[in-house]
Structure 1
Amino acid sequence: MRVVAVVVTAVFVAAVAVGAVVLGTRGGAAATRLETTYAAGTPRCEITDPRLPEISGTAELDGELWMVNDKGATLYRVDSACRVTRSVDLLPQLTDRKVRVRDVEDLVASPDGWLWMADTGGNRAPRFAVQLIGWNPTTQQTKVVVLDYPSGRHDTEALLVGVDGRAVLVTKEEFGPGTVFVTPGPLVDGNRTALVRQGTVDLGDPGGASRDRLVTGAAVSSTGVFAVLRTYRDAYEYDVVDGDIAAALVGGTPRTVPLPPSRQGEAITYADAGTAFIATTEGLPASVDTVRITRTRVEVP
């Protein structure tokens, strides 16, 4: 297995708490640092099902992998051989609620067991307002939350939902860094909420075209301690302190992880309790790739 990166992520004492990285030393305990390594991406399987021609988001929830196309409101559960084992069409419920789905660009699992579709896209027609559509696999219930940008129109393809229940959106900007917006509180069904601008996300200079810096997807680990953004080429992983994803994206320094080449990679999720990324792409056949993550605590001299 080829290691592509080894990075010290933080200095802390006892453990990584849910939603926080504890920094420093206490009570004379030896400080440790967390070293993170990423293996080269390897193919897991290949999507060939004609129902998934434009995968724009993927999420793992309770060990099950789900995917969504960028048009429509159907969720697809996919097994380890990339076969569709279940499809859930949310359109009837949404039609009853007079909700029209325009352009779904991401899919995330929230820590409270919901899957959230980000109906936030607007490549050719950026939007003043967008919506998030939630579905609970246990209760079959849906939620719909409308989000208003504080100013201007935006095209967004990356959604994250943290342990605090707040949603974070990162815009896809052809020129310049993506803008980070956050909801002021947890997502509440039926609410219309004004987003708050937190700043911009700096992915640095990847040494390539501006297309390589377009943010096309995102995910949060099930513990809420790590978050990842992806572009068409790479993944960027951040440490999240005290559950504040927006602060991590705006002020943190990411670890850059090359992803396997793809036709139009827009989907990424954490798998296996945060010990791997799973990434895939639009177009068929669509390779589903795994990047293994190893995190090792070592004592600080």
Structure 2
Amino acid sequence: MFLAGPATAQSTGSGILLPGAGFEPVCTPDDPALAELSGLAMVGGKTYGIGDSGTDDSVVVLDGDCAVTGTVPVPVDPYDIEDMGVGADGRLWLADTGDNQRIRTTVALIDLDPTSGDGELHRLTYPDGPHDAEALLVQRDGVPLIVTKEVLVANGIYRPAGGASLDGLASPGPTALERVGELRLGPTTTPGGPVPVGGSTLVTGGAVSADGTVAALRTYTDVYLFSAPDGDLARALTTTTPVRVALPNQPQGEAIAFTPDGDLLAGSESAGGPLPPLQVLPGAVDLARDESWSGGSVSLSASVGESAASDPSEASDQAAADDAAAQWSTSVLLGGALVAGLATFGLVLRRSRSRRH
């Protein structure tokens, strides 16, 4: 059952921290095409990656050692692809939703058959003006959710009006979107990312487990796992408290994808340096479902930084640190927004090029 009408639901907080869980390096890509890695997906035993604006003309195919085994051209000229999802039929869905300057009249989803290379453009329009968005979640019923990347306000959750599925999107469109909820993530004290202030609150990527019952959203610093046994990800994002796992310190982490076995793969842009390794969180789906700490649908009033650590002192220390981070973040919100804005402006200059839609 989906939320309908004006957005009233809201999720907030830093989730339930799992200090004992951690990511492990897998392999390191060495292809320059992945220097701005922003989207990951796994289909049929293959890993697919794509960069964002300026490097998003082709999807790169990787093997288990991060070696490039092929490329699949994007069938239309994209503006700024920021994420990838997978449909029930195995087609890739590219989220052409980046809009750092918030000037686009439409955004788009691009479907792509990774075998034939066939695909179409599906334009979308927000009901409340332009947004920058870097996270796409494809529910198991085929309804796509776009989660925006906001600095001063809650991140919006949007779906096609009326809950239309991917198969129902017009080409080239546009199809109207509707806002079905919002959520806030962080702040946390986890280091990482290109933004000195606020990097732990910006949503930079999303993924859905193979069975559609767990959603992952990431920031530059942390990943949040939401359990949705009924497959209703919109409801899970707005009515449950996620579990949180700190990410390794990545230069500009924006990509995540679930493996068929329920692990979670995370990648990062190089941000001008060497390409960082892909990282994996073993058993991510099981972590989200473990009711010993998540309890399924729990109150949004759970304390910031609440921990399931076996060491009470560690949990207490982290909770206190994250609570202090939340109070500090409030006092410097405007300053942080300015810093984030300047950082975004720098990224816009670095990535700018002529685009079609």
TM-score greater than 0.5 by the shorter chain: yes
1:124 matches 2:101: yes
Task: For residue 206 of structure 1, give the secondary structure of its aligned residue in structure 2.
Answer: coil
Pairwise CA RMSD of aligned residues? 2.3
In 2, Cα distance between equivalents of 1:176 and 1:210: 12
Contact 1:128/1:154 (<8 A) preserved: no
Deviation at 1:37, TM superposition (A): 9.7
Task: Pick the aligned partner of 1:89 from 73, 85, 89.
Answer: 73
In 1, Cα distance between equivalents of 2:30 and 2:115: 28
Alignment partner, residue 11 of structure 1: none
Alignment partner, residue 226 of structure 2: 238
Deviation at 1:110, TM superposition (A): 2.2
Deviation at 1:249, TM superposition (A): 1.1
Task: For residue 282 of structure 2, give the secondary structure of its aligned residue in structure 1.
Answer: strand
Task: Pick the aligned partner of 1:179 from 156, 162, 166.
Answer: 156
Contact 2:19/2:246 (<8 A) preserved: no
Deviation at 1:107, TM superposition (A): 1.2
In 2, Cα distance between equivalents of 1:38 and 1:62: 31
Alignment partner, residue 143 of structure 2: 166
Gaps of 5+ in 1: 1-18, 20-35, 95-99
Deviation at 1:216, TM superposition (A): 0.2
Task: Pick the aligned partner of 1:254 from 242, 249, 261.
Answer: 242
Deviations 1:81-100 (A, max 9, x none): 1110010112xx42xxxxx4
What is the aligned length? 258
Task: For residue 51 of structure 1, give the secondary structure of its aligned residue in structure 2.
Answer: helix
Residue identity opposite 1:193 in structure 2: T
Contact 2:256/2:265 (<8 A) preserved: yes
Alignment partner, residue 56 of structure 1: 38
Gaps of 5+ in 2: 2-17, 191-196, 293-357
Deviations 1:23-52 (A, max 9, x none): xxxxxxxxxxxxx99732111011111222
Contact 1:174/1:211 (<8 A) preserved: no
Alignment partner, residue 281 of structure 1: 268
Deviation at 1:291, TM superposition (A): 0.8
Deviation at 1:137, TM superposition (A): 2.3
Task: Pick the aligned partner of 1:219 from 196, 203, 207.
Answer: 207
Contact 1:114/1:135 (<8 A) preserved: yes
What TM-score does the superposition give when structure 2 sets the normalisation length? 0.67
What TM-score does the superposition give when structure 1 sets the normalisation length? 0.79
Residue identity opposite 1:293 in structure 2: G
Task: Pick the aligned partner of 1:206 from 177, 185, 188.
Answer: 188
Residue identity opposite 2:208 in structure 1: V
1:107 matches 2:84: yes
More strand per residue: 1
Alignment partner, residue 43 of structure 1: 25
More helix per residue: 2
Mean CA deviation greater in 188-197 or 251-260? 188-197
* Percentage of pairs with the same residue: 37
Task: Pick the aligned partner of 1:291 from 281, 288, 303.
Answer: 281
